[in-house]
Amino acid sequence: MTENIETQKERATNWFTQLRDEICAAFEACEDDVTGPNGSSELAAGRFERSEWDRPEGGGGVMSVMRGRVFEKVGVNVSAVHGEFSEQFRAQIPGAEEDPRFWASGISLVAHPRSPKVPIAHMNTRMIVTTKGWFGGGGDLTPVFPIDADTTDFHGAFKSACDAFDPGYYDKFKKWCDEYFYLPHRGEARGVGGIFYDNLESGDWEKDFDFTQTVGSAFRDIYPEIIRRHMDEKWDEADRQAQLIKRGRYVEFNLIHDRGTKFGLMTGGNTEAILMSLPPLAAWP
């Protein structure tokens, strides 16, 4: 918390919006460039459609959704909201017990590719302000058919981002991700991981903001690269069925375990924006 907190809020919100624009442009470029079985003439290159929503208690957001030929459904949401935490949440939120008011801004993305050969991905970064202030976020990859090189490069991108700031970040945030994106009732991980961090408040806001930007940029660069490696590959109905089952697990995680989803639904968030993470089609055969 500093004297220029309002400037910080504005800078963070502007960054999340800029990152949204950069990621959407990179995804639309994939839609243009695909030449494989899913880029054939029956489907047109997709484009994001935006819709704004207001939160009655204060603030709002913009949903950007694309239903294309590489991305069967991808949502990129930005929002900046403020209000007061209800009684039941105050004890769980740092700094909210003294004063329930909060401000939060962030970007949240889930991509469900059409091709079973292209991994599902999630990325989210946010800045939260109560009587305390912190950053959180991360990204994780959920391939239907894991490929070592993709896993290595996805983690490598986040490791580089982390190592530029603190030699301990990557191991800590990778472990956090592995623990968080785990389905205990299935005894399996959601995917091949990535990084996850929360309550990041090193005491140096500029450093923490810079780190959060670096994490977002790392995702913006590596995920489209992984998409391009596989988007022209052939796949068959058995691959598709495996993908629909993997997506079912994704639904299970998001609805049973994901704190952001639960939190959003229980605090009267925008249902359409929160559940944009759910896949266009999923199977429990």
Active site residues: 122
Least distance in Å: CB of 272 to its own copies? 10
**Residue 3 vs 185, nearer CB to its own copies:** 185
Considering beta carbons, is residue 9 or 73 the nearer one to its own copies?
Answer: 73
CA 10 to chain centre: 21
Taking the CB of residue 263, how many other CB atoms lie within 10 A of it? 14
Phi, psi of 41 (to 5 degrees): -65, -15
Q: How far is the CB of 65 from its own copies (least distance, A)?
A: 10
Which CB atom, from 239 or from 252, has the smaller least distance to its own copies? 252
Cβ atoms of residues 220 and 252 within 8 Å = no
Residue 32: CB minimum distance to its own copies, A = 23
Rounded distance between C-alpha atoms, residue 251 and residue 258, angstroms: 10
Closer CB to its own copies, 26 or 282, in the complex = 282
Smallest separation, CB 252 to its own copies (Å): 6
Burial class (CB in 10 A: 0-12, 13-18, 19+), 147: middle
* Beta carbons of 126 and 103 less than 8 angstroms apart: no
Pick 119 or 269: Cβ nearer its own copies: 269
Applying CB under 8 A, the residues found at the interface with its own copies are 67, 73, 184-186, 244, 248, 251-252, 255-256, 262, 265, 271, 274-275, 278-285
Smallest gap from residue 178 Cβ to its own copies (A): 20
**Bridge partners of residue 69, in order along the sequence:** none
Answer for the pair 279, 247: CB distance below 8 angstroms, yes or no.
Answer: yes
How far out from the chain centre does Cα 252 lie? 17
Dihedrals φ, ψ of 141, to 5°?
-115, 135
